[in-house]
Structure 1
């Protein structure tokens, strides 16, 4: 049950009865939102001011008319007009109590599964496998993982495909580096580390030879790297042997990092190499259909507008076309991406294709999607889920291409060390203050530090609007107050601690829940937040924005903190009130656990 939808559904027939333009009713209904101030009610409707101009009436009169037209229901306790025409809605307490008892027995906590699920194919992470993951891969990986978890929970079929960069120009750079700059001993000891060194070393040589663009025609080092790439694509025996030699170590390193980060196993990892045999056919088909064109020995596709600029002036006025075959016969990642579209629709039967890739690739995807539709893929939805940059402490983006981006493993290890340090600082401080602090063994402390440290990194990212930049600051990420993973994990641990002290089995509250008593404002406020879970999940899924989940968790945690301060649980005045509050505590723990899990973050029983 989506509580917001339930409230909004009452306004639709009221607006119809008032002869409001049917085309605008959805917009007016969307103006019903949770009240910012609980003193004003539970929900507030702000459409009266906008409607007053259309209906030629005072906003307060319109508001009164809407209230009078609301259908009979068991949900609303009162609807009143305030200020210039706001409608304040207060829900019936008995109705809230009934809903809480229902979700207590529901494993999904009242979140319905969709009646018409879709098949999604989601493309995220997509690293170049020849290099260790760096912080630049962080956002794509954890945003994509969270969206995958969320869509699956809601009932969609979600196929995750890690489109690995295992065949492009970076391998030409590696092959050139291997043949000319290899440190054999270092390679035998740590192949991934040596390959990463070679990549950086060749990039420096390219820059010294005439700039950072590996596609530059006049750059002799870049030309040699492109030649190695073309040989690989043409099936050169030595280059294929080296490619097969590089891949196992690279994939092992990659999967180890995913495991440390707590990322779901991908359904597929079809890299660029998987599509290589299809690329000549793709280009030929595009040419035959008249949607690709020869251009000075290369083959290009139109930009999103369908235009091929003919002059320099035209090129400067609009987006350029995209290459799908270079002059030397090598293909591009645009060609490969066209092949993935065909595979994902024809083989995976996708209804929606999602690409979690940073904002710098916006032009690429705009062109790709337009070309896919020209190609005939008009019955599938395409979405580029772009995101901003991870910034260093100086507020500047980590320089991945210049080799300045720190390795992701190193950043995660830094967070784990800091989490362990903060645990012992908290332990000592709370002991000195006389708190009852559990004495845990080193194994459990290490596990707590791991869950807290990794969770802090992921939550700090996911709590941002994904289109925004954010600073990577482990100290702030691990703060024990404010909207952080640590605070949410602590709230969960507090809930679990209450049940340990109560010596009560949770099953009693989940199979035969007691009646909830909402006599205090903080009890009622917490109850409302717990019932708003479905709305938070559906909003996050509709917009592909995980930060809606963290914002919801923050509201739940604040409500729980106020409840915990003002409503004694184990020392409640009556057994009935004790049971009621224990049920609220258990529901809070379950909601936090579920929502954190959808973000890919683990909870801890003790902190």
Structure 2
């Protein structure tokens, strides 16, 4: 690969060494060539999944064609400014182009902000540059010609403001309509990732506390998948441990014939768990039998294994009711799956002299934290840390994951920090947290009631997630009936629309908040059809679809014969917002903040409203172009909805 081509394809990488693998191979089971060695070629070869084939990449006659085919607007500008920086400042190879959207569109569309930092590096060494403005001017003067840029200006301490070509913007939007929004997908950060989310406990109902993990994890997985990353969606359920002795023994005592009718034997899962726990705490003889049952289960006795499997299966059926409503896909690999790998993982850690004895337990001390990470309890049993370490070993060695994302509440942050630190000390992960393979803990705050306390029912019980979702759907259905939709729609249309809006409202009300903060659960607010809510956005999308339908035009035909024109200022603002979609997805995914995508979607709907208010569509001389712009907005909105796990509605 030529240096120029490398720079165009990877504008934010200082050099190819950024992708070199860390020294972490601790098992022959790791592939002969870890995925990190082939990271550069993999990113190029993945373009084969898009209209730009590998053959075309090998035969391009100019960098302009590479730029046209690969990357977002921001990435393309990074490549152009990267070339300018290398041309004018060849000795400063570690300079990465800093490109940001302009906050004030009167000054331009994008901005290159390298002048001040570069001036600080070269001041005194390069006499010709007396001020940062001179550096900015030199960068601007060295920019290669490109049809995407209409003009540049220098502002402030050397900022290079860029105004995009309106004609180029229009052509890019039209091309997306023809080729599909998937062609706007950002370059993938890794080849394979694991998203570990939801993770309820067997024999306990899923409640509102699981809501955030489930939908945040699903959205992160969807954003990675949109970037052509292979995502292994893992449901790390709590299906192993001492509580199962209690549950199994209670099942045997209360339902001696449980094998004849296993489903009926357990009945209400939450009640079953509560009653068994009550007896465990109050009856010492039962407690002793329960503890022996754990030994029998872990020893593999058939009767105990069958009872355990039945309890797990009953739980899964309850979990699936939630996942079906939310449209969530997960593959279960619970604690029991990783249990056989724990001894091997601990042996590897011991060989690195990381495990030591402490008050009868086996622990790992990690730098900067006085409290040790317990990996084997005093009684010889394993815990969360030992299971998580074994799971990490498996995911790195057997599943070859390059990025592992754990979505749990912020209260578990310290556990993950210690567990990650132990893995780095063992060499399982690189010392630098931003190098691959890497791990990330995605923490989130609490769901609160209107009283500011943890969201519960009046009876102080946690709210079942199934009940909460059904309540949202029923409220939406009642509102639709009140608006007279029951008379115009079929029963199936009414049910589907109520589900789409109700479930979408619950998801969006959560995702639009920064995940690290607590948020207040309020049905009235989330189901409001005004403001930044899913209801408002779904209605906005339906209105766009209605405009297109009322025109009587066939949009597919218009794509073939028409063109997009962004002559009006509000058309241009909307067009620019559409073009920024890929970089917003990339930012939201990189920072693991779905609220960034929600903010983009809301602002897109606001820009469309301004456009539609000031630009007549149907019956205007620009009807074809403006219908195509309506369709482009609807396409991007639908992709945003999909990434957020929300089903769009087409009429309302």
What TM-score results when the alignment is normalised by the length of structure 2?
A: 0.78
Determine the C-alpha separation between the residues in 2 that align with 1:361 and 1:33: 34
Tell me what 1:128 maps to.
Answer: 201
Tell me what 2:401 maps to.
Answer: 350
List runs of 5+ in structure 1 lacking aligned partners. Answer: 210-218, 306-316, 432-436
Pairing 1:341–2:392 present: yes
Pairing 1:144–2:192 present: no
Superposed CA deviations along residues 413-447 of structure 1, whole A, max 9, x for unmatched, are 1211222233244x26xx9xxxxx99212321121
2:366–2:373 contact (8 Å) kept in structure 1: no
Tell me what 1:404 maps to.
Answer: 461
Determine the C-alpha separation between the residues in 2 that align with 1:239 and 1:421: 48
Q: Counterpart of 2:488 in 1: which secondary structure? A: coil
Q: 1:546 aligns with which of 590, 594, 600?
A: 594
- Offset of residue 204 of structure 1: 6.7
Q: 1:420 aligns with which of 472, 477, 492?
A: 477
1:303–1:370 contact (8 Å) kept in structure 2: no
Determine the C-alpha separation between the residues in 2 that align with 1:51 and 1:375: 38
Q: Counterpart of 1:386 in 2: which secondary structure? A: strand
Determine the C-alpha separation between the residues in 2 that align with 1:522 and 1:109: 25
- Offset of residue 203 of structure 1: 5.8
1:191–1:249 contact (8 Å) kept in structure 2: no
Q: Cα–Cα, structure 1 residues 482 and 57, in superposed 2: closer, same or farther, change >3 Å?
A: farther
1:3–1:532 contact (8 Å) kept in structure 2: yes
Tell me what 1:73 maps to.
Answer: 146
- Mean alpha-carbon deviation: is it higher for 37-46 or for 461-470? 37-46
- Offset of residue 468 of structure 1: 2.1
- Mean alpha-carbon deviation: is it higher for 159-168 or for 415-424? 415-424
What TM-score results when the alignment is normalised by the length of structure 1?
A: 0.84
CA RMSD of aligned residues (A): 3.4
Tell me what 2:578 maps to.
Answer: 530
- Mean alpha-carbon deviation: is it higher for 122-131 or for 482-491? 482-491
Q: 1:584 aligns with which of 599, 608, 629?
A: 629
Pairing 1:599–2:644 present: yes
- Offset of residue 260 of structure 1: 0.9
- Mean alpha-carbon deviation: is it higher for 555-564 or for 284-293? 284-293
Q: Cα–Cα, structure 1 residues 118 and 293, in superposed 2: closer, same or farther, change >3 Å?
A: same
Tell me what 1:276 maps to.
Answer: 339
- Offset of residue 245 of structure 1: 2.6
- Offset of residue 348 of structure 1: 1.6
Superposed CA deviations along residues 456-511 of structure 1, whole A, max 9, x for unmatched, are 1111222222222211222221222222222221121112112221222232244x
Pairing 1:304–2:361 present: no
Q: Cα–Cα, structure 1 residues 279 and 110, in superposed 2: closer, same or farther, change >3 Å?
A: closer
- Offset of residue 323 of structure 1: 2.6
Write out aligned runs for 1:5-20 (5 A).
5-16=75-86, 19=89
Pairing 1:240–2:289 present: no
Tell me what 1:496 maps to.
Answer: 545
Tell me what 1:311 maps to.
Answer: none
Determine the C-alpha separation between the residues in 1 that align with 2:590 and 2:285: 49
Q: Cα–Cα, structure 1 residues 303 and 357, in superposed 2: closer, same or farther, change >3 Å?
A: farther
2:266–2:272 contact (8 Å) kept in structure 1: no
Pairing 1:94–2:164 present: no
Tell me what 2:510 maps to.
Answer: 461
Q: 1:37 aligns with which of 101, 104, 124?
A: 104
Tell me what 1:571 maps to.
Answer: 619
2:420–2:439 contact (8 Å) kept in structure 1: yes
Determine the C-alpha separation between the residues in 2 that align with 1:571 and 1:459: 35
Q: Cα–Cα, structure 1 residues 190 and 303, in superposed 2: closer, same or farther, change >3 Å?
A: farther
- Offset of residue 43 of structure 1: 2.1
2:354–2:365 contact (8 Å) kept in structure 1: no
